[in-house]
Copies of this chain bind each other. A is one copy, B any other.
């Protein structure tokens, strides 16, 4: 029985997707677990996690285009604007995506689909240090 924990840091540069599959896979390898699950949890409310296509970069720009129209920076209804026009929109984008994702571990590796990547989606316009808590259990 394995119950392994590690936190990793991800430096974001601007509002964008940052691929973290490899970093999470390294934690799974370090845990020594062969079959079970790996939970990834982001300790923030203005950046989030998602799984999406890892091949065509147009998917990422189309996702960003859709989301920034759905949730507009500087929406005049927002009252939570202390950190700027991308403050409240970042919280909403986080709620519409995921703060916690659990992945299958098989044969000591993450068992993602061929076209799946695990991403941190930075929702703020400026660089941040983001922390992920990773738990490997099985």
Mark A residues whose CB is within 8 Å of B: 1, 3-5, 35-37, 39, 41-45, 50-53, 56, 58-59, 61-63, 65-66, 70-71, 75, 77-80, 82, 88, 91-92, 94-106, 111-116, 131, 133-135, 137-138
Contact = CB atoms under 8 A, between A and B. Distances in A.
Nearest to A50: B95
A25 B4 CA distance: 20
Contacts of A116: 43-45, 99
A3 B99 contact: no
Q: How many copies does the complex hold?
A: 3
A77 to B, nearest CB: 5
The A contact surface, by secondary structure, is mixed
Contacts of A102: 39, 41, 100, 102
Contact of A45 (B88, B111, B115, B131): B115
Contacts of A59: 80, 88, 91
A91 B63 contact: yes
Contacts of A70: 70
Contacts of A114: 43
Contacts of A105: 135
A113 B44 contact: yes
A53 to B, nearest CB: 5
Given A41-B102, A62-B77, A66-B71, 10 more contacts: A36-B135, A36-B137, A37-B39, A43-B116, A45-B52, A45-B116, A58-B88, A59-B88, A63-B91, A111-B133
